[in-house]
Amino acid sequence: MTIIPAVPEPGSAGITNDDMKFFFPDSQDQVDPSFDFETETRDEFRIRQRNDRYAHEIFAQPPFNGILVSKAIVMGSGESSGKYSLPQRHRLLRLGVEEFFRLPKGDGRPETMGDCGAFSYVKEEYPPFSVESVAEFYEQCGFDYGISVDHAILAFHSEDYHVDPELDLVPAEFVKRQRITIDLAHDFLKLSQREKCGFVPVGVAQGWSPSSYAMAVKQLQDMGYEYIALGGMVPLKTKEILSCLERIQQVRRAGTRFHLLGVTRCEQIGRFRDYGVVSFDSTSPFLQAFKDDRNNYHTPDRTYTAIRVPQVEGNPKLLRSIRAGEINQEVALKLEGACLRALRDFDRGKATVEEVLEPIAEYERLYDGKRDRTASYRQVLEDSPWKQCPCDVCRAAGIHVIVFRGSERNKRRGFHNLWIFYRKLQRDLGLLEQPLALVDAP
């Protein structure tokens, strides 16, 4: 039995337009429903765009309030070709964002937000996208919100005196990038008003200190923006984000709302709301499933380490060691198979924790002799959190959701983390009619 926050339907009486909205940035992360975990094969007639499923299609309720799509991810920028194939780009532009992502209809439909993806061109002297091309992209795709073109400033100083552009202490590059961002926001708003665009224009504030952010926000408000995205805060610590919001509060006008771009530090999201933040986007819960060294599987109260069973024929590091003669391929394949069989037997009640740990530890010594995750693996096996989780991913995948191996398992675990994160968010914001629901294991 586990404690899972119960979430009201999006758009229902339990959630209002003033509540915090969580946007999930798209990077074409999908899973194949035809994938067979036992044989690790898939339908030979599978077409990725048609058959694979997004996170919001896996669950009965979407695990977020909206989707954020970057023009740089779709079209590419600089040396990056983006994550979309040419047919996918054409399909998005032809069908629009709502139909492309097969978003559910009705009042509970996740909202859509477009941005430029400033971090993809942060090393360039000037943003590669024009205001006209960005507005056209947003309009053609049918986004609900469109974020102005910006240029990220990758530095932060807590001292307010750094805001004065006349001081030598402020690098000219910071001032230049902020000026570019402000000028482009001005042109973007004028164009969207002149062309009567269907999206809500969102201006971007870039800064290098609390006061510089406040200065940018003030200028954007003077232009007429009521919805402002705060950019460049990805590397900031929570106390630094709060210091910026506190300073911005001094110039914030009644009705001005804020979006936090790419903020992964969400432990104080309730406090952010007190300063006018109504939305944010983050990939952190999803990426932790396969990017983090330890915190791979989330529950309402803690995280667990996923059990690593790398593919001998699909893991670049393992293959290099085999080719170098450091690892015997036959031995590796034998241990890999033994790990998978032990995990399946454990999930069916036919193997003990010790019987599972033995081949897993032996395999780990073979491919990574410097690590010993036995204690973490023992904890997750003893607790078996996937058996207690009522989410659609855990019900369908079983023990495979805790196995760190290949994108089909890893992304499903990421989707599970999104589901948990969204419910914890609603709980922490006090938006649940029943703060906690006791759900029996299936």
> Which of the residues are catalytic?
115, 281
- Which residues does 427 contact at the CB level (< 8 Å), separation at least 6? 5, 300, 435, 436
Structure tokens at 96: 């629009």
Which of 209, 198, 394, 417 is CA-nearest to residue 304?
Answer: 417
Q: Tokens representing 66? A: 């909206």
Alpha carbons 396 and 398: distance in angstroms, whole number: 6
Closest to 259 in 3D by CA, of 132, 113, 158: 113
User: Cα 79 from chain centroid?
Assistant: 23
E strands present in 311-434: 403-404
What are the CA-CA distances from residue 256 to residues 41, 227, 239, 276, 410 (Å)? 51, 6, 22, 7, 39
Q: Cα–Cα distance between 285 and 163 in angstroms, integer?
A: 34
What's the gap between Cα 353 and its chain centre? 33
- Distance, in Å, from the CA atom of 428 to the CA atom of 430, rounded to the nearest integer, reads 5
DSSP summary character for residue 9: P
Rounded CA separation 193/187 (Å):
10
Residue 280 token pair: 């944010």
Contact 100, 73 (CB under 8 A): no
Per DSSP, helices labelled H in 224-352 are: 238-249, 269-274, 284-291, 316-323, 329-347
Neighbours of 376 (CB within 10 A): 15
Separation of alpha carbons 371 and 380, rounded Å: 17
